[in-house]
Amino acid sequence: MQKSLIDPFGRKIEYVRVSVTDKCNYRCDYCMPEQGVHPEGRHTEYLSYDELARIIKAFVNLGVAKIRLTGGEPLVRKNLDSFVEKIQPFEGLEDISLSTNAHHLAREALALKKAGVSRVNVSIDSLKPKRFNLITRGGDLTKVLAGVDKALEVGLTPVKFNMVVMKGTNDDEIEAMVDYGLAKGVEVRFIETMPIGAAGVSMMDQHYSAAKILKRIKQHVGTDLIPSTGKTHDGPSKNFTIAGTNTRIGVISAVSQHFCESCNRVRLTAKGVLALCLGQEDSVDLRTPLRAGISDEALETLIKKAILKKPERHFFTENVHNIEFRQMVELGG
C-alpha cells in the first residue's frame, strides 16, 4: 500500500521545497538584507548533501512525489548536479525542479538537465538592466537572460518567470513581461508582495493585487484569459492561457486571496528546519536528531508527527506586524 502524508485538515503533502543554501549572490530587498543573512561571514551548519538526501528519501517513502531545489540561490552551492544524480533514482520521486535567479544558469543548465532536473523557475523582477541591477542590488540581467536561453535550449521546460510586482517600482513592466512570455514561450507568474521578514513587512505599501494584475493583462492582450485545468505543476499559482496562443500566465495571490485550503507543501531549510507554513512560525528541527543517529524508520515517524503541526492557514493580513521572525531567503521562498 502506498504511503501518504495527510495533515490535520485533510491535505495530502506531496511536494517539498528543499533549500540547499541560504546564501545568494543577489540582494533583492524583499528577500534578504543588503549585508546578507550572515554578515559576519559564517555560513555554518548547513546539511550535507548526504543528510539532505536522507531526508528527501524519507519524504519520498512517505508519498512525496515532487522536490524543488531552492536557496538562497541554489547554484552558488557547488556540485548541485551531483546531488541531483544522488536523489534522482529514488523510487516514487516523479519530479525534480529548480528555483534560481539564473545568474549561473547558462553554465549549469546542461549538467542539471542530464542529472535529472526537469524544469526551472527564474526569479526576475524587471527586464530593464538598470532597474534590475537596482532591485537585486548588483544583478546582471544579461547573464540572467542568457541563462534563460540556455535552459530553453537544453529542455529545462517549462521555464517559468516569477515576478514580484511592487507598486511604484516595477508595476509598469507587467505588460512587458507578458510580451516576453509570448515571444519566448516562457510562462510568466506575477506574485503579490508578501509580509515575510522585516523587509517584506516594510514593503507592504508597494502591494499590488492579483486582481489588478489580471485586469491589466487582459486589457493588454485584448483577448480572453482561459483558466488552465489539469496541470500538475501549478502549485499556488492561478494560471490562464492567453486565448489564441500556447502562452500561460499566472498570479500568486497569497495576501489578497490566500490558497491555504489546497496547500500541499512544506519547506526544508538548508539548516535542517522543516518549516510547515510560509506565514507561520510552526517548524520542526530535523538536523539535531539526524546527527544524533536517528534511524530511517524513526525519521519517517518524526516527519509524520511534524506534519500534524501544519496549520490550517497563514494570517498575513491579520498578523502583518508579528511575522518578522524569518527572512524569505531563509525559508527557500
* Structural domain harbouring 208: 5-331
Would you state the pLDDT for residue 282?
79
Give me the CATH number covering residue 192: 3.20.20.70
Mean per-residue pLDDT for 48-54?
Answer: 98
pLDDT in tens, 208-248: 899 999 999 999 999 999 998 765 455 678 999 999 999 99
What CA–CA distance (Å, rounded) separates 195 from 4? Answer: 32
Amino acid residing at 77 = R
Are 69 and 36 a contacting pair, CB within 8 Å?
no
Would you state the pLDDT for residue 43?
54
Would you state the pLDDT for residue 325?
47
What CA–CA distance (Å, rounded) separates 114 from 85? Answer: 9
Q: Is the pLDDT of residue 256 over 60?
A: no
Would you state the pLDDT for residue 279?
65
Would you state the pLDDT for residue 323?
46
Least confident among 56-70, 90-104, 163-177, 257-271:
257-271
Would you state the pLDDT for residue 197?
53
Would you state the pLDDT for residue 324?
46
Orientation of helix 174-184 relative to helix 210-221, angle to 10°: 60
Would you state the pLDDT for residue 332?
56
Other beta carbons less than 10 A from residue 6's beta carbon: 14
Would you state the pLDDT for residue 34?
75
Q: Decide which of 242 and 323 is more confident.
A: 242
CA angle 48, 51, 52 (to 5 degrees): 85
Are 223 and 284 a contacting pair, CB within 8 Å?
no
Confidence of residue 288 (pLDDT cuts 50, 70, 90): very high
What CA–CA distance (Å, rounded) separates 228 from 65? Answer: 22
Reported pTM: 0.90
Would you state the pLDDT for residue 3?
85
Q: Is the pLDDT of residue 199 over 60?
A: no
Q: Is the pLDDT of residue 192 over 70?
A: yes
Q: Is the pLDDT of residue 142 over 90?
A: yes
Domain total of the chain? 1
Amino acid residing at 215 = K
Q: Is the pLDDT of residue 14 over 70?
A: yes
Q: Is the pLDDT of residue 42 over 60?
A: no
Q: Decide which of 278 and 329 is more confident.
A: 278
Average pLDDT of the chain, as a whole number:
88
What CA–CA distance (Å, rounded) separates 285 from 292? Answer: 12
Q: Is the pLDDT of residue 322 over 90?
A: no
